[in-house]
Structure 1
Amino acid sequence: MARKYSKHGPREDLWRDDDDNRDEAPPPPDCWLCERPCGETVIWHHPVPKSRGGRDTVPMHPICQNMLITTFTNSELQRYGLDASLLRIEPRVEKFIAWVAGKDPEFNAPLGKKKQR
């Protein structure tokens, strides 16, 4: 039968924190689309939609994800794949990134409804 506690020292040693930086939170990841640091709210977005076989996720601001969803169809997003640089040269995305660049990471605004094609 396995031991519950170490036989080489007091039990308190098992629960001791050697990590002095435990109170410091890691820095937020950068947004995949606009490349600004994310705030407290991070959306893990599938650049290639799950319905099209996408498995990878990337961190994004909620407003950036909303812009992608309302601007592009699933088949367009599948064509762009994981390459955000291709999306950034798209005129609609370029204009959005220029607009959102000076905003707070927690900024969110309604962007409208998805256009039917």
Structure 2
Amino acid sequence: MARKHNKGGWRDDDEDEASAAPPPVPCWLCGRPCGETLVWHHPVPKSRGGRETVPMHPICQNTLIANFTNSELQRAGMDASQLLANPTIRKFVDWVANKDPDFNASIAKKGR
């Protein structure tokens, strides 16, 4: 819907919304831009005293939860590179790199 601007002229609200949209936030694990669905993940689990949160894709968070225990996540802390050193996580990140930001799939069950 077009509205008259105070300084004269007409503007289209849709154009202003698109240009005012902030840039997408990168995922903490894979580095891809996050889509519409965004999860705020605690790298150090709350049960282990974690307070900080990082933005992640739901599929990335589910992969971490399926492959690591809370103790392992606590040891890695805020350092995503320690998690990426795990061959399973590295393979997942390489696989998901070319997917759409809102891509989601089922994750294999915990291998504990």
TM-score range, shorter chain: 0.7 to 0.9
Which residue pairs with 1:16 in the alignment?
Answer: none
Structure 1 runs, 4 residues or longer, greater than 3 Å off: none
TM-score by length of 1: 0.78
Asked if 2 retains the 8 angstrom alpha-carbon contact of 1:47 and 1:56, the reply is yes
Asked if 2 retains the 8 angstrom alpha-carbon contact of 1:28 and 1:40, the reply is no
Q: Which runs of 5+ in 1 are unaligned?
A: 1-20
Which residue pairs with 1:72 in the alignment?
Answer: 68
Within the candidate set 26, 36, 39, 1:40 is matched to: 36
Q: Which runs of 5+ in 2 are unaligned?
A: 1-14
Task: Report sequence identity in percent.
Answer: 68
| Count of residues paired in the alignment | 96
Structure number with the higher helix fraction is: 2
Structure 1 position 82, deviation (Å): 0.2
CA RMSD, 1 decimal: 1.3
- What SS class does the counterpart of residue 35 from structure 2 fall into? coil
Which residue pairs with 1:94 in the alignment?
Answer: 90
**Bigger Rg over Cα:** 1
User: Residues of 2 paired with 1:93 and 1:112: CA distance?
Assistant: 12
User: Residues of 1 paired with 2:74 and 2:49: CA distance?
Assistant: 9
Which residue pairs with 1:12 in the alignment?
Answer: none
- What SS class does the counterpart of residue 75 from structure 1 fall into? helix
TM-score by length of 2: 0.81
